[in-house]
Amino acid sequence: MKTTLLLVSGALIFGVTFAGWYLLNGFACGMNPTGCRGVTLHWGDWEALQFFVPTFLLGLGLMIAGGWRILKR
């Protein structure tokens, strides 16, 4: 049960963080006065990404911990 909780909570945190990062990039694209055709993820934009990296790492860490518990069985 704890293994499943680790995997699911890690995937949920990682997914919500990724969705937030995508929506932030979509909002920035919509605020562009010349418009844009598609949303691209700007991984080089450290100013905004610095707020998302800790939760990316938290979600990834929980998924790794859950996977490690599965492999140890």
Which residue bears the tokens 């790492």? 57
CA–CA dist 45, 33 (Å, integer)? 19
CB atoms within 10 A of CB 36: 13
* Total domains, the chain: 1
Quote the tokens at residue 13.
Answer: 């945190």
| Closest-CA residue to 9 (of 61, 69, 71) | 61
pTM of the model: 0.82
Domain containing 31 equals: 2-72
- 7-43: per-residue pLDDT in tens? 999 999 999 999 998 888 888 877 777 777 777 787 8
- 34-62: per-residue pLDDT in tens? 777 777 787 887 888 898 999 999 999 99
